[in-house]
A and B are shown apart, each in its own frame.
Chain A
Amino acid sequence: MRIKTFRICILFLWIFSLSLFGQQNKIEFQEFDLENGLHVILHEDNSSPIVAINITYHVGSKNEQPNRTGFAHFFEHLMFEGSEYVERGEFHDYIQNAGGVNNAETSFDYTMYYEILPSNQLELGLWLESERLMHLRIDSAGVETQRNVVKEERRQTFDNQPYGSILEEVFSNSFTHHPYRWVPIGNIQYIDQAKLEEFIEFHEHFYVPENAVLVIAGDFEYSHARKLVEAYFGDIPNGGHEIYRPDVTEAVPSEEIRKNVYDNIQLPAVFTAYRMPGMGDPDTYALEMLQTLLAGGQSSRIYKSVVDNQQLAVEAGAIPFDLEDAGLFIVYGFANMGVPLEDIEAALDEEILKVVEKGLTEREFQKLANQTENDFISQNTTMSGISTNLADYYTFFGDPELINTEIEKYLAVTPEDIVAVAKKYLVPENRVVLHYLPKEQQQ
């Protein structure tokens, strides 16, 4: 009885402090749709004379065909090759000349492009982004160069890195039907096989206004920015077709999969990937809180036990991999010298079992809430951070207001929910266990 009252008291305090805080930090924005279906979100903040432009296309590696993996990412490279009015190689020149920075990123679910510019160059950024949506030039010269560049990217980030194959191993073993079974970098051979027309078709299909969200954050005035967006993006015709989205339901795993991977490494490592639901499922919030309990900070369960006290691992923790259709909750440990992986795996399992059997204390639960609050508040400190978050919330939840309110979903999670998701998802039959071992140990 007393405990319950105490908790309500604490809960009340949080809500109070949060609402106080909310007033200080609420991120205001305006949003509208162009006639062609492009969704636009504007966040005005005049404290620094800069502007961040983010355009996120709702296409990632999961929208690829199995015999054309790596396409979405390859396309990210092609988008810098020029357009009708921007010559090859000039894209970066324009941005540099304006004193800005830019880059792009491809994931399983999205492809995102951004520029950060001095605020007097907003129009330039909009011109460049609208050009490559409207008039992208796709020719064999660009394709050939980028083919080789992407091959080097793969070598550098996957093949020549210790543990570089981890993402590929985890996903290819965790999914058998869903396109998440391949990773965004894809297979080089498919890029080599692809014909020029296929790249053009890919652009025509996925790079259409109704499949994108444009976010501008920073030093501008709302009506001015809106006029500019209408001028540069308004004339772009919409695709008018249904966008291909894989409709694959991956069956719930029924038995544990185990595999040894031999790599050029010194320290063996264990990676355990549990299947979890897709973004937005209420269970994902509980799973993220569970991740903080297990691996958030030096007092977290796994760090304290496996790294600090038992000294089995140099590094151990958990990462929830939130994806649109289905995610993975990865628990891992890198062995200390001479420690067998079996011991680490047992210790990691033990920590999960403890959550399931004994739950968590009041103080631990409050710690989780404090950590979550700190992370949530700290994520929106820059214009580029805010623009990326707004784009994500719109693309995957259809609700950019979550940038202010998503914290409520975390705080709605109860200790019982955390135990329940541990019990439901972190079980052997729902996982893939990979043991990374030095090549010398291969028989």
Chain B
Amino acid sequence: MKYRQILLFVFAFIPIILSAQIDRSKAPEAGPAPDIKVGEYNSFELKNGLKVFVVENHKIPRVSYSLILNIDPFTEGDSNGYSAITGDLLGTATTTRTKDQIDEEVDFIGASLSSSSGSVYGASLKKHNDKLLELMSDVLLNPIFNQDELDKIKKQTISNLAASKTDPSSISAVVKDALMYGKDHPYGEVVTEATVESITLEMCEQYYSTYFKPNIAYLAIVGDVNLKEAKKLTKKYFGKWVAGVVPSHTYPVPVVPESVHVSVVDRPHAVQSVIKVAHPVTFTVGMEDYVHGRVMNLMLGGSVARLDQNLRETHAYTYGVNSSLSQDKWIGNFSVTTDVRNEVTDSAVYQILYELNRIRTETASTKEVEKIKNYMSGNFALALEQPGTVARFALNIALYNLPEDYYANYLKRISEVTPESIQSAAQKYIKPENCHIVVVGKADEFADKLAAFSPTSTIDYYDAEGTWIDPAEMKAELPAGLTAEKVVEKYLAAIGGRSVLESIKDISIKMKMEVQGMSLDSEVLRKAPDKFLMSMSMDGNIMQLTSFDGSIGKTTGMQGEQVMEGDDLEAMKVQSAFMPELNYSGLGYAIKLQSIEKNEGSDAYKVEITDPLGEVSFAYYDIESGYLVREEQTQETPNGPSFQSTNMSDYREVGGIMYPHKMVIGMGPQTITGITTSVEFNTGIEDSVFQK
């Protein structure tokens, strides 16, 4: 008391000095560090084994009661979800109250009362305390499970499941857990419509009668109450709860993947990708380097930490990114989460992995580490404002067998963290080479780039429930009534329209080609109905010339001039046809719509084209734009069949016609890239040009 008065006395003089001294150009010095006291709690145990913690706080006339059951996690198999539903069923009826009565009595005193598979929570103003405990005890000790209430909850659960299938963050959480822990582990099991459907009243009754026992329960009482009152009240309301043997469970500890595993959940309408980089980790409060791990994680992915600086402030990929290193008695996990716009998905993953590696390989500066330590110490103090924090500490000490002074020494533990201890914690707890990369988003826009993070360049696709999807089954169905003719007609309309195209009599195209580091110039001239000339030159010297004037075809190259004959000539005739798309049937072509295929991430119609000579090729028309985006053909060569593909992109308007300005030709292992430098129509090319 005296000390406080002296302190006040001293403070009273400080301001005068201060106001004379302020210097805006630098941050003010902190005052003397305040004394941080971890609040006290009392505990006692009822005869039935219920352990009670009491944290007194008389600021406002309110008391809360939080009861937690220490149940080992276990799998629920084909009826996954029954423990959660049991939690919902508590409070729907007791031996003396209907649901309507319970609801009305709780609301009447302005209280809250809720339950889950392993907890019951109640809070009210102090003056309604007895009533609240009467209700809480009734719900906990005398429940009745009714079929119609179960049906109601099942119906709502199934509706909620449907809703969460459209929520990208829910999807990513479900899929991440399924991958990280395995679907046969309690933490990785997925609740589905089918598992919920199969839940019976007996399962819920069985679960309740097996696990709701006082000897595995902890009750935290926080607020305007003293120890004596608490003892009296708990004895009165929870003393008759009967103890019993509760089964324990163990499971194999989930392990990290052998190498980076890339998984995608496709959401074709998404405008953002939800990214998670995660893996399981053995991390439990009380471990020797627990606090070091926590400081390390904060430095990596706390608010305004490294990941945020990188992805938000430097690259502006995201509104926010964070990492978590979550402790758990059985198996913890490390996880980075962020939402980014579609087009930077792979870049964001790259930067995340970069930061994960950096914190492992580089020792941080003392300055950076001190900042995080200060932040963590300060936050520890801030959290103590809430009396619930002390109750949580008490519970942890009991659940994890921590020394009684664990939290009293917490600030001291933080002060022991060093740049070196952070680096070793990072090496121990962060595994960028053995992580799951899970992305929920518009796969078209990033899937091919994301594959690069996998050592085998593969991506596994999953549905919203974490079920693996066979890539062969991913093809979209063709719309009924659609024909190849309609697809081609749409293409013609998309590039300018039939009437414009029919008015064209000749075309001149110049291109720059890149072949194995060499640069070639190519010029192609075409004239209706079937005249063709192509020259390839390098540094102005013509390397090869191919021409067809309607009857004679020639190639001129380094081997001299060759006149085409037989099949070659017939093929040349067909290939020289001027825009055969305008009249496929009249020219003797057969076309057939085959399927919808992915082309560079977008859906395209695949059309089979059989030319008048019986040669088969394939054309891909983009579903959205209608453009021709790819052609494929297999040619017989002396060395066996050779597959050739041409991808066309960068459509740009020239004289009212959309023309692809980029071509990528694949021939076996070789890729040739062609960039169009000029396209002209109807320049009036003389027939004699084709007779070279």
Q: Which A positions have Cβ atoms within 8 angstroms of B?
A: 17, 21, 24-25, 47-50, 84-85, 89, 92-94, 96-101, 116-124, 127, 130-131, 144-145, 147-153, 155-157, 159-162, 219, 221, 223-224, 226-228, 230-232, 264-267, 296-300, 304, 307-308, 311, 314, 334-337, 363, 366-367, 370-375, 377-378, 380-383, 439
Contact = CB atoms under 8 A, between A and B. Distances in A.
Contacts of B15: 223-224, 226-228
A120 B18 contact: no
A97 B375 contact: yes
B32 interface: yes
Contact of A266 (B8, B166, B316): B166
B103 interface: yes
Contacts of B127: 17
Kindly list the 9 A-B residue pairs having the minimum CB-CB distance in the complex, ordered from nearest.
A99-B378, A374-B110, A148-B316, A49-B34, A227-B15, A120-B31, A297-B107, A299-B103, A153-B319
B501 interface: no
Contacts of A374: 62, 109-111, 124-125
Interface string B513-552: 0000000000000000000000000000000000000000
Contact of B167 (A152, A162, A232, A363): A162
B6 interface: no
A157 B28 CA distance: 37
B33 interface: yes
Contact of B316 (A98, A152, A157, A383): A152
Contacts of B160: 314
B459 to A, nearest CB: 21
B486 interface: no
Given A97-B374, A223-B12, A363-B108, A145 B313 contact: yes
B61 A48 contact: no
B125 A377 contact: yes
Nearest to B167: A162
Contact of B25 (A48, A85, A94, A159): A85
Interface in B143-185: 152, 155-156, 158-160, 162-163, 165-168
A224 B381 contact: no
B18 A228 contact: yes
Interface centre among B35, B160, B270 (most CB of A within 10 A): B160
Interface residues of B, number: 85
A125 to B, nearest CB: 10
Given A98-B378, A123-B31, A314-B160, 5 more contacts: A93-B304, A97-B370, A99-B378, A155-B271, A227-B19
B40 to A, nearest CB: 14
B341 interface: yes
Contacts of B270: 160
B27 interface: yes
Contacts of A300: 107
B477 to A, nearest CB: 15
Given A99-B378, A227-B19, A375-B110, A160 B34 contact: no
A410 B584 CA distance: 80
A127 B18 CA distance: 13
Given A155-B271, A377-B61, A96 B159 contact: no
A15 B349 CA distance: 60
A190 B382 CA distance: 39
B371 A120 contact: no
B339 interface: yes
Contact of B11 (A118, A221, A367): A221
Contacts of B103: 297-299, 304, 308
A89 B107 CA distance: 48
B372 A96 contact: yes
Nearest to B105: A299
A226 B442 CA distance: 55
B592 interface: no
A119 B382 CA distance: 10
A21 B61 contact: yes
Nearest to B15: A227
Given A50-B381, A120-B30, A381 B60 contact: yes
A132 to B, nearest CB: 12
B308 to A, nearest CB: 9
A93 B371 contact: yes
A124 B28 contact: yes
Nearest to A162: B166
B166 A155 contact: no
Contact of B110 (A121, A127, A371): A371
B272 interface: yes
Contacts of A152: 272, 316-319, 339-341
B34 A219 contact: yes
Nearest to A48: B385
Given A149-B316, A152-B341, A439-B269, A382 B386 contact: yes
A367 B107 contact: yes
Contacts of A118: 30, 33-34, 378, 381-382
A334 B163 CA distance: 10
A25 B110 contact: no
A96 B304 CA distance: 9
Contacts of B303: 92, 101
A149 B385 CA distance: 33
A349 B491 CA distance: 52
Interface string B93-118: 00000011001101111110000000
B108 A160 contact: no
B249 interface: no
B82 to A, nearest CB: 19
Contacts of B598: none
B384 interface: yes
Interface centre among B159, B168, B318 (most CB of A within 10 A): B159
A314 B108 CA distance: 23
A383 B381 CA distance: 13
Contact of B155 (A100, A155, A336, A371): A336
A31 to B, nearest CB: 18
B24 interface: yes
Interface string B362-381: 00000000111011111101
A68 to B, nearest CB: 21
Contacts of A266: 162-163, 165-166
A190 to B, nearest CB: 18
A80 B56 CA distance: 39
Contacts of A122: 31
B317 A120 contact: no
A156 B124 CA distance: 36
A377 B128 CA distance: 14
B56 to A, nearest CB: 12
Contact of B374 (A99, A161, A219): A99
B232 interface: no
Interface in B42-73: 59-62
Contacts of B339: 152, 155-156, 160
Contacts of A226: 15
B43 to A, nearest CB: 22
B109 A380 contact: no
